[in-house]
Amino acid sequence: MILIIDDDLAVRASLSILLKQHGFKTREAASPKEALELAQQHALQLVIMDMNFSIETTGHDGLQLLAAFKQRLPQVPVILITGWGSISLAVEGMRLGAADFITKPWSNDYLLQAVRTALSLSQHPPGKDEALTRKKLDQQFDFRHIVGQDPQLLQILKRIGQIAPTDASVLIEGESGTGKELIAEAVHRNSLRKSQPFVKVNLGGIAASLFESEMFGHKRGAFTDAKADRVGRFELANKGTIFLDEIGELDMNSQVKLLRVLQDRTYEVLGDSRSRKLDIRVVCATNKNLEQLVEEGKFREDLFYRINLIKVRLPALRERPEDIPLLVQFFVENLKKTYHRPELEISPKALQWLKELPFPGNIRELKNLVERTVLVAEDEVLTPKDFQAQSQQGPVKASDKSLPAVGAMTLDELEASMIKKSMAYYHNNISKVARALGVSRAALYRRLEKFGIPYEPQD
């Protein structure tokens, strides 16, 4: 039973008809008092409620009603309905435990998607399973390319398998190199959208000025350099899943534009005023603490709640050392084929030595180390000495002291760091920095904008 609470008869009727057409049973309430009475009389599966029941439209009564439901029926999910101008109310409601929020006017398809997602998630609350094994998970789900059997990882994979068939937005947190993209792919591969596109977008590599063109596409002539039509990433991912990596790098203006799309499920191509509908699953990833960025005013709280319906935190490799031998064996098996060395093996002592390394670059660093070692090793049995020769754990040359461990940073992160250091060294003199880095002034300007590095334009 779904309880619809709104003081507007037309809204209640519209929602009730829509839900009944798709097989849901509903009840309607025009006030908080009537809603709580119906909650005592019927077994509820879901509540859909407006935030305003008085002329003041402060939302205070709506928040009170939400708090009452979460106290009396904590397991029943609540979806809030609010106007775009009152999203702050919805954010406050999410803090109080609401499952999701929808803005008026809503898209029927998106509202139904939200209802099905909330109901599905409420049937599969997160929990521990003492008998959980990798073999059992692999019998139920498709987790190819994800290596490991650490208990933390198994719980994550179990949760991914449960929520994948829904359309819940997923936020994957973890240090660089922990395998966030593989988890995003697993969400898609185990979803009902698995036969549709999976589109990856590195938001950290898109300049703010190009965000709309890259994400929404543009028509020829939409701006000076638009010499041909361009299909945006959202259109490419329609009906499938879009993976927004490094979402913590997005500037505030782009965050607003992204929120609009994720909320309304519509977008406009630059140069074309016609709105286009979007049917999409959103998976985001970051190596930053988004909650801290929200507190610092660098990330929108409403966007945070929109992408954060399900949160997954990937453990660092140092938190799952028993998985290191499994990962190494997996990489070696692949490299046997790549480099045509079928007799290649790794000694037990080498595996033990690798288990004791901290690997600040996580799985990415481990993979790079294994591949470098395989490339230069002459014998078919890899020993600790082979890995020690390629590892940067020993004494570092004076010229390499400023370089991070291999795999600890992406090329974009390394490039941004070098530009920042050069700008500081040359006191923001664009000409000197460009010469020092061996690029043109125009190329340097593009990189400064791409990485959001402040500068004073020069004539």
d(CA 18, CA 388): 65
Residues whose CB is less than 8 angstroms from the CB of residue 429 and which lie 6 or more positions away in sequence, other chains included: none
Confidence (pLDDT) at 400: 47
pLDDT value for 293: 94
Whether the CB-CB separation of 278 and 234 falls below 8 Å is answered with yes
Query: Tokens representing 406?
Result: 């291999």
Cβ atoms of residues 69 and 33 within 8 Å: no
Supply the pLDDT for residue 52: 80
pLDDT of residue 127: 56
Q: What pLDDT shows up at residue 396? A: 42
112 CB-contact burial (10 Å; exposed 0-12 / middle 13-18 / buried 19+): middle
List strand residue ranges (DSSP E) for 288-350, in order: 310-313, 345-346
Peptide bond into 105 cis (omega under 30): yes
- The enclosing H or E element of 286 equals strand 281-286
Report the distance separating Cα 362 and Cα 403, nearest Å: 17
Q: Tokens representing 422?
A: 């050069």
Non-local (6+) Cβ contacts of 386 within 8 A are 350, 373, 376, 377, 379
Q: Minimal CA–CA distance to 8: which of 44, 48, 52?
A: 52
Residue listed under structure tokens 């037309």: 10
- Say what percent of the chain tops pLDDT 70: 92
Instruction: Kindly report the pTM of this predicted structure.
Output: 0.75
pLDDT at 197: 96
Residue 389, both tokens: 């020769």
Residues of the chain with pLDDT under 70: 54-58, 84-86, 124-130, 392-408, 457-459
List pLDDT tens digits, range 91-103.
888 888 898 888 8
**What residues form DSSP beta bridges with 214?**
none
- Rounded Cα gap, residues 244 and 60, in angstroms: 35
Inter-CA distances, 108 with 115, 225, 277, Å: 11, 37, 11
Strands 170-173 and 78-83: unpaired
The string of pLDDT tens digits covering residues 224-268 is: 777 788 899 999 999 999 999 999 999 999 999 999 898 888 888
CATH numbers and ranges of domains, the chain: 2-123 (3.40.50.2300), 156-314 (3.40.50.300), 318-400 (1.10.8.60), 411-450 (1.10.10)
